[in-house]
Amino acid sequence: MATLHVLSHSPFGDGRFASCLRLLGEGDALLLCGDAVYALQPASTPYASLERLGASTPVYALAEDHAARGGGAPGAGVTLVDYAAFVELCCRYERVNSWL
């Protein structure tokens, strides 16, 4: 069942980010919000992991949280979304799994 995985913790603080990437299934997508947007820091290990996901796993990031944490233009393959798009993503995927 296609799942939207929502991450909100920094990928540098604990193992949620790595665990989530390991568990991603066919058709799943990732939404980074809060401190999880630090995974988009260029040349970082988390960002390299995201790049390895490939086009079959869409990666989204909450634009407001990305901007609030000083993020610049995101890398290729990362889509910045607003809250309306966040809601739409929750409708598009059959399940929403928040990594609390």
Partner 1 sequence: MKFAIALFAPPHSPAARRALRFAEASLQAGHQIVRLFFYQDGVHSASANVVCPQDELDVAAAWTRFIQEKQLDGVVCIAAGLRRGVLDAAEASRYGRPAANLAAGWELSGLGQLHEAAQQADRLVCFGGN
Alpha-carbon dihedral 48, 94, 56, 10, rounded to 10 degrees: 0
Query: Does 33 help bind partner 1 (rule: CB under 8 A)?
Result: yes
Q: Do residues 36 and 8 lie in contact, with contact meaning Cβ atoms separated by under 8 Å?
A: yes
Minimal distance in Å, beta carbon 41 to partner 1?
16
CA distance linking residue 9 with residue 76, whole number of Å: 22
Count other Cβ atoms within 10 Å, centred on residue 74.
20
Query: Does position 17 bind partner 1 by CB under 8 A?
Result: no
**Is residue 35 within the footprint of partner 1 (CB under 8 A)?**
yes
Alpha helices in the chain (DSSP H): 16-23, 45-53, 63-68, 83-92
Q: How far is the CB of 24 from partner 1 (least distance, A)?
A: 18
Whether 33 contacts 4, CB under 8 Å? no
* Residue 90 binds partner 1 (CB under 8 A): yes
Smaller CB distance to partner 1: residue 51 or 83?
83
State the binding string over 38-67 for partner 1 (x if CB under 8 A, else -): ------------------------x-xx--
User: Which residues lie near partner 1 (CB under 8 A)?
Assistant: 6-10, 33-36, 62, 64-65, 82-84, 86-88, 90-91, 95-96, 98-100
